[in-house]
Amino acid sequence: MRKLKKLGTWSRTFLLLSVLCFFAVLAQAQTVKGVVRDQNGDAIIGATVKVLGGKGGTVTDSKGQYSIEAPTGSILSVSYIGYLTKQVRLRGENVVDIVLMEDNTTLKDVVVIGYGTQRKESVTGSVASMKGDVLRDVPTGDVTSALQGRIAGVQMTQTSSKPGASQQIRIRGTRSLSASNDPLIVLDGIPFAGSISDIDPGSIKSMDILKDASATAIYGSRGANGVIMITTNKGTKNTNAQFKYNMYVGTKTNFADYPMMNGDQLKKVREISGAYQPVFTNGDEVEGTNTNWQDLLFENGFTTNQEISVTGGTETGAYNMGLSYFKDDATIPTQGFKRYSMHAAIDQEIGKIFKFGLSTNTNYSVTNNANLGIGNVLSASPLINPYNADGSLKGVVHMEKDNQWTYTGDRIKGLGDSYKDQTTGFGTYNNFYGEIMCPGVEGLKYRLNLGLNYRHQKSGSHTGTGVFSDSPTSNSSSNNTNATTWNWAIEHMLTYDKTFGDHTINFVALYSAEKSHYDSQNMSGLKIPSDQLLWYNIGQAESTTINPDPKYQGYKESGLESIMGRIMYNYKDKYMASFTLRRDKSSRLGGKAHTYPAVSLGWDIAKEKFMESASWLDQLKLRVGYGETSNESVDPYKTLGLLGTRAYNFGPTGYAMGYYVSELPNPDLDWEFSKTYNFGLDFSFFRGRLSGTAEYYIQKTENLLQNVSLPSTSGVGSVYANVGKTENKGFELSLNGIIIDNKNGWTWEAGLNFYTNVNKITELADRKDRDEGNGWFVGYSINSLYDYEKIGIWQKDEEELRQIMEPGDSNGPGMIKVKGGYYTEEEEKAGVIPEGKKVGDARAINSYDRQIIELDPSWEGGFNTRIAYKNWDLSAVASFRHGGKLISTLYGSSSYLNMLTGRRNNVDVNYWTENNPTNDYPSPAGPVSNDNPKYGNSLALFSGSYLKFRTITLGYNFKGEWMKKIGLTNLRAYATVTNPFVLFSPYYDESGMDPETNSKGDENQAVNSNYNKRILVVGFNTPTTRNYLFGLNVTF
Amino acid sequence: MKSKIFLAGAAMMMGIGFTSCDNVLDETPRNIFTPEYFKTEAGVQGGLTSLYANLRNTQGQAYYWNALETGTDEYTYGESGEDENFMVLDFTPASALLKSTNCRADVFWGSAFSDINTASGVIENGEAAGIDKSLLAEARFFRAFDYFTLVQLYGGVPLDLGAGELKFNTSSTRTSVRNTVAEVYTKAIFPDFEEAVASLPDAPRTTGAVTKTAARLFLAKAYLTYAWWLENPNNIPTYPECTRDAGQAKSYFQKAYDIAVEAINNPGSYGLTETFMDAFYGPNDRNKEMVLYADHTAQDEYYNGGVGYGWGNGWAPDNFVNWIAHWNYTTMNNGLLIRDGRQSYGRPWTRCATTGDVPHKFNDQSIDYRFEGTFVTAFRANWYHNGGAAGFEKTGDTERVAANGMKIKNGDIALMFKGESDPNVKVPNGKGDSGLGAGTIDGKPYFVFTPELISRRCYLNIWKSGYYNETTIADETSVGMPNGANPRPWNIARFSELYFIAAEAAVKGATTQSGMSARDLINVVRARAGKWRLAPYADKDYNVDLAEGKLYADHSAEMVAATPENITIEYILDERFREFFGEGLRWFDLVRTQTWEKMAGTYHICDKNYGNVSETFTRSIKPHHYLRPIPQGQIDALQMTKEEKAAYQNPGY
């Protein structure tokens, strides 16, 4: 068999050589010229034109023109990425114009899979790709928000609505209880050590998301949460210099103001509640006043992005360089984000066997006044007139119980140095590579990758005397943090890539080592003598409180040493297989090693003989994969134990530091391990008119890190240990279709993605079935709440039952009615049912009536569509989710904005009165618990469903000879509106506000301790905006 | 060209050699300490400091304080205290069941064992590192202090944390065995305190460090408590069960007396302040009467251990007892009273209320200064504290209407709490003009509360442990930082308690020394209580007399004359009530003397109503309540059988 194959190869080589000789002898060279255009008649720049079997070739210039020496009778092959290659037999013409048809199938696209690339049609793992151009359909300065709703199984959730904030990324759900669920980000091949907001979306060529373990196992101990491969722009060989200028500029308005009451409404609430005087005449309240504090604060924001780049290449080298500037100002005056970025990529070949390159992404960003909150603006009584009789602004306004600094936009703008908070970040991410083709062994290549990354972040804040305080003499204070991150990585890689007839083999072997370092220093001081100093000399603080607080001094260093091997095999693009093995040794585990195997197989049924008749079928590929990964969940030094510190004063100024054992050493700590099965089906019909992917996965994670409580009597509070299990199961579907393909100038394309993820805790520490404090319950999602659930309002005709379930609350009907109020089986088990009662009997509401409330949506996804007619195009991007819960703290207890007592301003809600027996909100006269309506937190829960249009864009592509005359090859103008509208959202219907979360669970509330940090909520953060943008894309 | 490429390639390959160094996998933490540090001398000293700092996690922690006060004759739950934190401790019919999951005595359990282990670590490592004996005696003091408190709250507790009895534990053991009460006293508490008495210095090593006097006070109290336990007059059960030899009780009463008297006779730098009020006036903090306290400072946020002076969160290590013990005086009509960072005001949480019986127990108010010295007896209009500075004026507001339609100025009394009934007080129906249901007296511009009007909404706010911040108090135009936690030291033991310990032991049969009978001892304290620093209802926040030390009146002789000839335990308890009200001792006192049910079985209060509708509440205090439930967190974290876990819990829970 082997002999035969060898013979075959030899004979083919011989034949090829003969043909070449034949041409060399017979062909008569002559010059052929022409223009390469696309279906629309636009010139294609950089298309490769070759004579089949001939030497060399050329590429089309900026006008799409080529010129090549080609003998009559030879075959001219013209190719360009994204187009079907065309072959033309020359019959002696001198001018041959060629039209290339777009290749709608994306099967030949190259995807980045980690330590290499692969044609999409032969990928066997779960990899989703997104081209930079598509990403930029959503004009934003942040990669994560551009990705939102674009890829099945990749959930982006807003954690903050402030300018410069990035979203939380979850690939196929959450799996870890206490360790990170963030995916690994790899920038140009090197694990990214910076902040994701450092990445300028304009410099991205493609993003490839590795979702299942058969794809991520090559990143071994870091692969469990998925991997995002970001590739930045590179130049193309043999192209003339091409400049691109992209810009947009826009204005921002609040998507919605917070729905607060006006003065008359607040007065009404107070009248009913009786807790406060309707108008507090000894403060600054005046009957009939209706101050809209939000109007006094907000202004229109501004955003712009400016980007210029140049790309080109010589015969042996290529380059791409760009500069960009992004600015995003909030609607809260003085709050904003700016970023300056620089990108360069150079590739150079030296001779036939040696190649090297460098890519660098460097940026500097400034975030201003991100800490400006608006809680006081929302809570301020609208009955207050903020101005004195002479028209000047009052310094502090007084309500019945609360006094606050008068918070207006003009006043904030006038603060100057007396309030400033600023974070500046400088990051530079540099990758170098060198490649040597092994002489004599075709397809064997050695590659060295070197990554060197550095990021410095400085955060300073200064608050002057009396600023934001109801006391004009409150101390000034300053705070300063400097943090440095660096990381280096070195990778030695051998690859062997070879096709033997129908068999293609790709082999990679890798050795890598990397080290990451982080340190931070913090200092703060009270009574800074002059605002001018800001935070630059805290040593001048007059108070003895000059604090380098040991709690806020950070230091972490960790190293990873790995070897990896991968074999990919492909037979005729019909059968495919991939095997990976990675072994990681980490300093975090004291050098302990772990091995991660993965395998995946693919079968393209469309390539089978029996499917030949189905010519409409381009691809029907079944994939199956299995892999093991972990998530580098143990923080550095966690195995060594820890002494806690307690600062103490002996007498007013006798300061001393105390130490006690807070964590025991635990050398047995280990990673959390995930095992993933993935089943996929890729399909493409009608030459790419309809294509898509459907996938199903099961991921089981075990060894979960948890802080296991030790009994207090051991003398140590807890030990960090590997116990517990979770599971994720999900289904994903993505579809892309070209519904109308250039008919009478019309084109209509649409894409849809849809996914589900069911997350479940399958085991907790000590095999307990619940951990109420953390909201973890076996059989339920990690993202759950444990609290009372409102089912309505007690009405007048329900008094009899209410007296049983809410005894002692004498205020009559109108209070919140929560689920429960009957003896449960759980109580029976606990033996707390009194004699004479049984399960099902009505009783007073008690803590057994708290419910497990799962927050995860039942399904979510997004869609995008584009309609084009001649030069015009209209496109839209939308995302949706269905089910689950949204927590809006505005309506619950933790914001103190729905107290319904009239103490502070209240969210405008439909509350119960005798004449308005609603089931929406309780009566202001109802029972109060911790200053809020009893069970007030149950009011914070809303359905999480929504459909949100993220952008709508109308664009115009300029065409015509005039462009060529002034040297333009491409000119596009567009107008975009972001966040134009929201549908199917009960929360939006209630509040008029954005149904997306805007805060972590411990932020932007009056009481930040009600929810776990990991639970995302709506708080009183900077409002979501609707942006009106105008943009230009110019190529010349 | 080719050779160049070859050389370049070779150079690249060299990289392999440089990167396979082992140091990639090394770990050296540089911003934290690992337990290794405890093996150094500096580490041992740091361990000692943490024992002091840990006091803050319980002493001045309001929920724990509430577990020592709510349900006694001093406090019941307040209007905003209708949750399990407070109500279950009250044992009234409306209270939920006191359980292992809701008893806030858990605060001490959660903090003590880590402390005990650190102390054991300090003692073991300190001996090896050659640390001075007097320093190690401090560690012994705290280990004994923790065990003494634990044994009173819970009965017997484990002496072996996993490495052997009283040994430093570093294993993650998840089993536990409780020793008996007798074992805890005789193996841990007595030897440790005795060694502390022997080795601690007379004068503190540094401000607030423990001394011989502190060790004697607690040793005497431990002997006294153990003697009562042995005697067991009312047959209160103990757990784990063990035999008690009532015959031994007498010798321990004697020991208690002897040690207490020894402390009184050798006071060192300690003693009684001139007047009762002097011991609690903010500027006098760390006075000579304070034998042990959890220190705080207004000078440095960080070393104060809290979140910040401007806003407190209501948890340890902050001192925030005054919040939960203060009713919301700012709900008074017309804005006469606002939140204020002064000792009479502070942040009101209305979680724990004095019962309506409290003022009556302060008998002899005309000569006994302690009612004045304990409570806020007069609220003075203070709206001006929020004005005065440029840009903050409010005009036309120098006077406001108070009672009887009369106007008062800032600084005038707006609301008075009288300690005795007064027939001249007219009680309104409902809230009245004050908005609080307060009474009025014809011709007086202020409102008045009498004992019958005390409700869960309006009651006696404690002044003793009120808010005081030396750095903001000087500014008369400002309210300071009323929402902050209290940066005052929290008093744990006062010198005056030595007299009570000795007197109690004497009443229980200890042979007394001449001139130091129970009556003699009590009279020392009562004579002091007769010395008045200020007139009744004086402004305690702005009084030069208080600072300068002039006496307003001296009723010492009348106080001594009023002392009964025959001192009983009941009399001592009443006297302790007046002396130590709100200092977190009451539950221990009632439990030690087994008189809880008798002294606090019923109480009177106007519940949540305004006006004169006082009700009687009956508490169902059972013998098993004399031990608090072992916290459920402890039981859950144990890896033991269900039966073993059930046996670990105190019976009845």
User: What is the DSSP track for B431-497?
Assistant: TTTTTS--EE-TT-SSEEE-GGG--SSS---B-TT----TTTTT-TTS---TTS---SPEEEEETTH
Predicted local distance difference test score (pLDDT) of residue B290: 97
Please name the member of A398, A637, A651 whose beta carbon is closest to the beta carbon of B208: A651
> What b/e string do you get for A199-229 counting C-beta neighbours within 10 Å, with b at 16 or more?
bbbbbbbbbbbbbbbbbbbbbbbbbbbbbbb
The distance of Cα B543 from the centroid of its chain, to the nearest Å, equals: 26
Kindly determine whether residue B300 and residue A653, on different chains, have CB atoms separated by under 8 Å: yes
Q: Distance, in angstroms, between A648 CA and closest chain B CA? A: 5
Instruction: Output the CA–CA distances (angstroms, integers) from residue B100 to A717, B33, B156, B351, B652, in the order listed.
Output: 18, 35, 16, 21, 10
| Ramachandran class of A999: left when φ > 0, alpha when ψ lies in -120 to 50, beta otherwise | beta
Q: Using a CB-CB distance cutoff of 8 angstroms, which residues of chain B are in contact with residue A522? A: none
- B299 with A649: Cβ contact below 8 A: yes
Mean pLDDT across chain B, nearest whole number? 91
Whole-number pLDDT of residue B466: 95
Closest by Cβ to B53, choosing from A560, A648, A1009: A648
> Residue B9: pLDDT band by 50, 70, 90 thresholds?
low
**B1 → closest Cβ in A351, A473, A490:** A351
**pLDDT given for residue A70 in this prediction:** 83
Write out chain B residues lying below 8 Å of A353, CB-based: 5
Residue whose token pair is 């207004």 = B298
- By CB atoms closer than 10 A (0-12, 13-18, 19+), residue A888 is buried
Q: pLDDT at position B21, please? A: 53
Residue of chain A with shortest Cα separation from B297: A652
Q: Which residue of B has its CA nearest to A552?
A: B31
Which ranges of chain A have pLDDT less than 50? 1-27
- Give the span between the Cα atoms of A439 and A433, in whole angstroms: 19
**Closest CA of chain B from A404, distance in Å:** 11
Question: Which residues of chain A are within 8 Å of residue B15 when distances are taken between CB atoms?
Answer: 448, 450, 490, 492
Q: Which residues of chain A make contact with B12, given a CB cutoff of 8 A?
A: 434, 436, 446, 448
Report the residue from A282, A448, A585 with minimal CB separation from B335. Answer: A282
Return the bridge partners of A729, or none. Answer: A698, A758
Question: Which member of A636, A641, A659 has the closest CB to residue B47?
Answer: A659
pLDDT of residue A332: 96
Question: Which of B6, B16, B32 to mutate against chain A (most A CBs within 10 Å)?
Answer: B32
> What pLDDT is attached to residue B22?
56
Q: Are B15 and A448 in contact (CB < 8 Å)?
A: yes
Contact assignment for A715 to B116 by CB distance below 8 Å: yes
State the helix-helix crossing angle for B62-69 and B106-129, rounded to 10 degrees: 120
Tell me whether residues B207 and A651 touch, CB distance under 8 A: yes
Residue B15 predicted with pLDDT over 60: no
The nearest alpha carbon in chain B to A474 belongs to B480
| B49, B84, B184, B383: best to mutate for the A interface, most A CBs within 10 A | B49
A664 and B170 within 8 Å at the Cβ level: the answer is: yes
Residue in A351, A473, A643 nearest the CB of B37:
A643
How far is the C-alpha of B397 from the C-alpha of B420, rounded, in Å?
A: 34
Burial of A408 (0-12, 13-18, 19+ CB in 10 A): middle
Contact B207 A654 (CB under 8 A): yes
Distance CA A222, CA A514 (A): 13
| Interchain CB contacts (distance < 8 Å): A and B | 296
Instruction: List C-alpha distances in Å: B633 to A229, A846, B57, B109, B110.
Output: 45, 20, 18, 10, 9
Please give the pLDDT value at position B573: 98
Q: What is the pLDDT of residues A127-147, one digit of tens each?
A: 999 999 888 888 888 999 899
- Any idea what DSSP says for residue B188? I
| The pLDDT of residue A152 | 94
Task: Inspect the interface and report whether the beta carbons of B9 and A396 lie closer than 8 Å.
Answer: no
On the 0-12 / 13-18 / 19+ scale of CB atoms within 10 A, B565 is exposed
> In the prediction, which pLDDT does A104 show?
64
Mean pLDDT of B283-311: 90
Residue contact B2–A766, C-beta within 8 A: no
- At a CB cut-off of 8 Å and minimum separation 6, what does B449 contact? B415, B416, B417, B418, B438, B439, B458
Q: Is B113 left (phi over 0), alpha (psi -120 to 50) or beta?
A: alpha
SS3 of B322, please? Answer: helix
Of residues B8, B46, B296, nearest to A354 (C-beta): B8
| Per-residue tokens: B584 | 């977190």
Which of B135, B542, B476, B494 lies closest to B292, judged by CA? B494
Q: Which residues of A touch B1 (CB under 8 A)?
A: 350-351
CA nearest to A398 within chain B: B386
What is the Cα–Cα distance from A501 to A491, expressed in whole angstroms?
31
pLDDT value of residue A357 = 94
- B305: nearest CB among A470, A646, A652: A646
- Which residue does chain A place closest to B389, by CA atoms? A472
- Taking an 8 Å cut-off on Cβ atoms, the answer to whether B207 and A280 are in contact is no
Nearest CA in chain A to B167: A715
Q: Which helix (H) or strand (E) holds B142?
A: helix B133-154
Portion of chain B with pLDDT greater than 70, in percent: 94
pLDDT at residue A14 in the model: 45
A660/B478 touch (CB, cutoff 8 Å), yes or no: no
Distances (CA, A) of A183 to A216, A223, A228: 10, 8, 7
Give ipTM to 2 decimals.
0.93
> Which residue in B114, B122, B284, B292 has the most chain A C-beta atoms within 10 A of its own C-beta, making it the best mutation to test that interface?
B114
Residue of chain B with shortest Cα separation from A770: B636
pTM: 0.78
Residues A273 and A353: beta-carbon distance below 8 Å: no
Alpha carbons A573 and A575: distance in angstroms, whole number: 6
What residues have CB less than 8 Å from A572, skipping those under 6 apart?
Answer: A502, A607
Contacts of B480 in chain A (CB under 8 A): 471
Chain B residue whose CA is closest to A274: B435
Q: What is the mean pLDDT of residues B368-392?
A: 79
Q: How far is B469 from chain A (nearest CA, A)?
A: 11
Nearest chain A CA: its distance from B356 CA (Å) = 21
Nearest-CA residue of chain A relative to B166? A715
* The Cα angle at residue B494 between residues B74 and B602, in degrees rounded to 5: 10
| Closest approach of B535 to chain A, Cα-based (Å) | 31
| Pick from A472, A557, A714: CB nearest B173 | A714
CA distance A661 to chain B (A): 6
The partner residue sitting opposite B335, judged by closest CB among A283, A545, A591, is: A283
Residue of B171, B400, B634 with shortest CB distance to A712: B634
Question: What angle (nearest 5°) sits at the alpha carbon of residue A597, between those of residues A595 and A602?
Answer: 165
